[in-house]
Amino acid sequence: MTDRGDLPSAEALTLMSAAEFVSAWCRIVGEPPAIVLESRREMIRILAGDMPPVPVRADEQPALPAAESGQAPL
């Protein structure tokens, strides 16, 4: 799980209307959320934790999670 301090504050997410939140989600993910959790911040945290890291250099490949790479998790 990720412990990122750069996630939106709970207050900022609470101030968004449901329509604004779903619209922003669609812009990021490309489709509306399948379910809406009580905590929008938790939804963003889960989304950020599921995204693969971006390569630092153009010739690098993103690291795959152990389950996708065929390796056993450490």
Between residues 7 and 42, which one has the greater pLDDT?
Answer: 42
Rounded to an integer, the average pLDDT of 21-48 is: 87
**Structure confidence at residue 1 as a pLDDT band (50, 70, 90):** very low
Q: Provide φ and ψ at 66, rounded to 5°.
A: -55, -40
Q: For the chain, give the percent of residues with pLDDT over 90.
A: 5
Give the residue, 48 or 58, on which the prediction is more confident. 48
- What is the average pLDDT score of the chain? 75
- Tokens coding 21: 């939140």
Choose between 33 and 54: higher pLDDT.
33
Return the SS3 of 3.
Answer: coil
Distance from C-alpha of 12 to C-alpha of 48, rounded to nearest angstrom: 17
